[in-house]
Structure 1
């Protein structure tokens, strides 16, 4: 997800007039020459005044580098990437959280017509309300983070790398470098990699909607998502989270992260996939740690009632986690 040294941002007005639309971004970039591994452009377009067409988006795929496109201040921010990555700035992962739209492209020269495993990991950083979109050589896909564990045939919530490990182990291919045995995905040919990635995306129910470039009617609702006019709900929504009932707007950075940290790990212990679900010793140690930490936080002075209520809910959930004692 990171190509190396930090790239330098180029000034748009040094090379021509500032583009106002996605179409003009394509025209602008056709007339400039730069090294995408050392430099990048960042554009802001008023998508409400200048909606993007399917042709505008597909035109971006003609460039030999990826694009990162996301909602920003009521419009779209477009950043040029490199051949295989949307950004060399790891901070873009954090920026994916809380956005209305998080989109990127795979160039026409790429064989990858599905989210890659790197993209799967990135999908886990996005907010549930964020519409994630991929434009690729065959068409456009709206997708979400994995919501289903096909190995255990249960809903999934947790660290997607745990799910990738399990899935790789089930097909005899090491997907995450965690010793799952079998072949390493990096040793496979490009076609085999894409096929495995596509099957993973399908079987974990990541796909919300997709359409090929020639399917005009099917593309229309996806274009409304990209133009920030609408959103598309999934037929396979994420499983319920213990955090769903918490109003995080009430909290500052510290308390918000405290609740999200313990709530997220309770979810991971609830849905089968990772160590907190399968490793009973680790599960037992974490349960004890969580109960102590939540009790200590509740014992703090001058806590607002809504914070006490949310902490108590998490504490009760942590206590309710069952741990098998027959771990020999």
Structure 2
């Protein structure tokens, strides 16, 4: 019976050894990659149907993750439990599909039982095993070698290094496929609209900006008092100064007011045209909100005016708007 690890040193030593074994297992995969991997990528690229991933036990959990990663990066995929496949779910697999079957031993009974049925349907079969000479390794159209020298488990029993290697090999497939498809960050965001990445990549300035009656605007003839009242009403900490032709003449912000006070300017007798910042920085209304954040941070400003394709003022937004939208 193995002595239990009771001390901090023993616990950390076991953890480090586990990580070393698993890291070595993943590193060894790279040296074994060959034409079969390239052929597997091409087979999936040529697939007219979906990629169906299957596996039992721990391999099934890894397979489920691989299917999810494929689906979110441009390769339609789903997971089918091999035991359920024998009880009706095999009907989810068509002759246009590619099946990726995971089994470290290559002899998982539930998987081996459905191999002839998969082949009969005309689907292509990629086996990912730790034993090329296994039933699954022999019967697959393509075999990907995910073997490991040893498990991290001290008894060499619990799937540890082998599942890590299979997951890493699956990730290698996913990344190779998304690169081959030219899958972009914007494409990724479209499959993750509810996540922070989707918000950062898909939200545009026009989606967040204040416009119409909510847009703070005064003419160049306005007094400082009138400008401050407009800023207070609209609550953006700034107001645009727009001429009679609708052209942007300048902007006046809370920061401008503080600088005027520091310089001891005559605020009572000055008009906004004398105090505003001329030729203010603007962003296009069609720009991504994430780009607006980057530019605002570079210039150390908290608000920005948005213009249309002809340079006319159409909106305004500040950092609070971007924070609320989850872009920052």
- TM-score bracket, shorter-length normalisation: under 0.3
Q: Which has the higher helix share?
A: 2
Q: Report which of the two structures shows the higher radius of gyration computed on alpha carbons.
A: 2
Task: Report the TM-score when normalising by structure 2.
Answer: 0.24
